[in-house]
Structures are given as structure tokens and as C-alpha cells.
Structure 1
């Protein structure tokens, strides 16, 4: 088995991320550093380590939905020593990682798993999985502004893919609106940047769904395991 597939099968990271780990010289096979992405291993006899920790295929696959609070990062390490979402799932013995990211100020639905292949599938650009957000924005977007939002906006050096936006509630006196926003891209802080581009900056942002997966009754800071049907749904996405 190729080394990057093995790392993904162990639930450590997606195949693409596994390649980065290999190139960073963090992987050892039988005590020797591996740098070749084409390296093949015998999964039954070879010993594989990442950062000095042995990995293996014996872990069961775990799929959970976390209701992320604001003020948590979704990366493993942080230079400012801020709390991580992994701190909220510390009772799960398997090594799990978030599928995609939510920025520090954003709350809501985050899927975590040790299924590297599913992580790769759901984060690859060719798989257009809708992500639904509820955003409190400054001001009240006009029909023309929302049309521009839906057609795609030029942000920095790229144009966003078509998206959806609708006003759920508005308060003209307090000058804000609550909008439901759906995108299928996953660029860094994209919803915030898109709202800023139409001059309605986000005041608060919460993700409420990824495809058909929702939080259900999961409270902020808590998680639930995905049902068998939900896992099959995610694996069946095209």
C-alpha cells in the first residue's frame, strides 16, 4: 500500500495532507525517514511512525458532529495557544480531525472523523457539498446586492462560485439582518469576505448544516455521533 494511502486509512489525515506530512520528513518506516511519495509499505509487517508516534489500522472509524463554540480553533496547533475543538472531544480515544475548518469567531456544525478518505472527498473542490450558514450582518442587503452575491463576487484574486442568500429576519431600526447563506466552496473566511464585498459585514456567523447533516439537538460545546444513515449519505455524495 502506498504510504499516503496508509496514513489516510489510519485516519491521520487526507491523502493530500499525508503527502505534505511525508515531504516534511515527519514519517518513518521501520525507523527510517521516508521522503518518497511513491513509497510502498507492507501494512501487516512494517512499523510506521509520524512525529515519533506509531500509527496503525486497528482503530475503529469515528464520525461525529460537534457544535463548535466561538473562540475555538479547528487546527491542531496554534501559535497563540488558543483552545482547540479537539479539547472538546477529549473523551474519544481515537485520533480524529475536523473535515474542513471554521474560523475562530465562527460557531456551529463541524464534522470530525478519522476516516481519511471521507475527509479527502468532502474537502476536494470537485465535490460540491452545500454548507449552510446563519449570518447576522450589518445593514439590510438589497435585492441587487443579493443578486451579485448569488452570481459570484471578486474577492482578492478569485471569483467566488454561485451561492445562495436570503433574508430570514430584518430590523431596520437596529440596522441589521439575519441571512441564510449557502455556499459549496470552502475558502478561508469566505462567507465573511463575501458579505464584506457587498458592504454588509458579518456581526455573527454560525454554520447550521453540511449537505443534509444538521446539528439536531446538539448543544453548543457538545457533540453527537453520526447515524449509520448519515455516514452512508456522506460516503455516497458525488
Structure 2
């Protein structure tokens, strides 16, 4: 591949920044200073050094973010902070994007990557990828609600697939419930609308998992980390190409 493409994918910087580094003679290929962005290199065999640091090739990157409320699941927005604003320079240089979305007032697990094939596989309706949410509900959730979710909630514009509703806690005095809801789709405001269809209201919503990925509880709201080797293996075992 071209040297400038390698440097960008290695997280050195944008194409413009990479060209400046080459111009300043800060890049070496196999011990020889290289100034041409068009130079072709073997990313697996050649040793490429930038500003004294040996670079490794990394085409795809994967971030786990504990998304806070009031942040948009997008790469840019004129009015709100986006999830990309929370990540590092490498994420910007690699042009990562969120896999799916969480509503602005929903928090929890969000995967970001530049691997389009993975994103497609995780979001494809044919894959039926489970998404687990924890919801605080205004109202007492009942066995009848559980049965309705199992049958599939019917909304005005579409019928939801069968979903799992698990009651975790009930506060009869405050008339609230804490529940876990597992869905296989990801329609706009789906969980909130499903609960509303049963005459109740979601007052807080957190995503806990998506497919094989589980939210790292050590991540505070707004914090992120790269996926671990074990999580990447889990994606592979999930038959998602990475």
C-alpha cells in the first residue's frame, strides 16, 4: 500500500499531517529516510519509523464507550456534543463511527469502529443481534407485561419481534420498576415505545450489552477503552469478520 495510507491507518495523523511529516524527513522505511507519499510499502514486512517510533499496522480499530446522556450518537452535529468528541485523535484519524445509535437521553454501551463490514453484521436485521437494556420504569411491571413482550408488542407503525422482559426490582411505594429488556431490533425509541404501549414510562435507559459485547462497568460515563483481545475473539466467534 502507499506510504501515506499506511501512516494514516497507523494513527500518525491525517493525510495532510502525514505529508508534512514526510516533507520534514521524519519518516524512515527500512532505515532510509523517505519523503514520497506515493512510495509503496509492505505493511507486514517493512519497518516503518515515524519520529523515532516504530509503527505497527492497524487497519481497523474498535472502541467501547460508556455513552453519557446529552451526547449524540453521530460523528458530527451542529448543536450537540457527539460521541466522537469523547474519543482520542486516533479515532478521528481512523474515521470511526458508532455501530448503531443510542438516543440522546440513553446511556451505556456503544461500539465505535471503522470496520464497515462489522457494523453491517452487527446491525443487520437478519442477524437478530440481542441488545440488553436496563430500564427504570414509572409504574409497576406485571406478569401480563412480560407475556405481552414475549408475544411481540404491536406499535402504530410496526410490530416488534418477541422480546424478553425481566423484572429486577419493584418499589411499590414509589410505583417504579427496574427491568431488563432484551430486543433483537433497534428501531427509533423502540424500548421506550414498547413500555409506553403497556401504559408505563421509561425514566432512565441504559444499554448493557450488544451481541457478545458487555459494558465494562469500570468505565465511568463518558469514558472509553479499546476492545480487548478476548472481546475481539468473541466477535470472531460471533461470526463477525474483524
TM-score category (smaller protein): 0.7 to 0.9
CA distance in structure 2 between the partners assigned to 1:65 and 1:107 by the alignment: 13
Structure 2 unmatched runs, 5+: 1-8, 10-38, 41-56
**Contact 1:63/1:113 (<8 A) preserved:** yes
Name the structure 2 match of 1:74: 73
Structure possessing the higher radius of gyration over alpha carbons? 2
- 1:85 aligned to which of 73, 79, 83: 83
**Contact 2:152/2:162 (<8 A) preserved:** yes
SS at match of 2:89: coil
CA distance in structure 1 between the partners assigned to 2:86 and 2:97 by the alignment: 12
Q: How do 1:1-238 residues align onto structure 2 when only pairs under 5 Å count?
A: 60-78=59-77, 81-92=79-90, 93-216=93-216, 217-238=218-239
CA distance in structure 2 between the partners assigned to 1:105 and 1:229 by the alignment: 30
**Contact 2:122/2:211 (<8 A) preserved:** no
**Contact 1:70/1:106 (<8 A) preserved:** yes
How big is each residue's C-alpha offset from its partner over 1:89-147, in whole Å with a ceiling of 9 and x where there is no partner?
13323210000000000000000001111011111101111111100001111111221
SS at match of 1:148: helix
**Contact 1:149/1:198 (<8 A) preserved:** no
**Contact 1:136/1:205 (<8 A) preserved:** yes
TM-score by length of 2: 0.71
Offset, 1:211: 2.1
TM-score by length of 1: 0.72
What is the root-mean-square deviation in Å for CA atoms of aligned residues? 1.9
Offset, 1:59: 5.8
Q: What is the number of residues matched between the two proteins?
A: 183
Q: Which runs of 4+ in 1 moved over 4 A?
A: none
SS at match of 1:157: coil
CA distance in structure 1 between the partners assigned to 2:234 and 2:212 by the alignment: 8
Q: Which moved more, 1:174-183 or 1:216-225?
A: 216-225
How big is each residue's C-alpha offset from its partner over 1:208-231, in whole Å with a ceiling of 9 and x where there is no partner?
111231122211101111112312
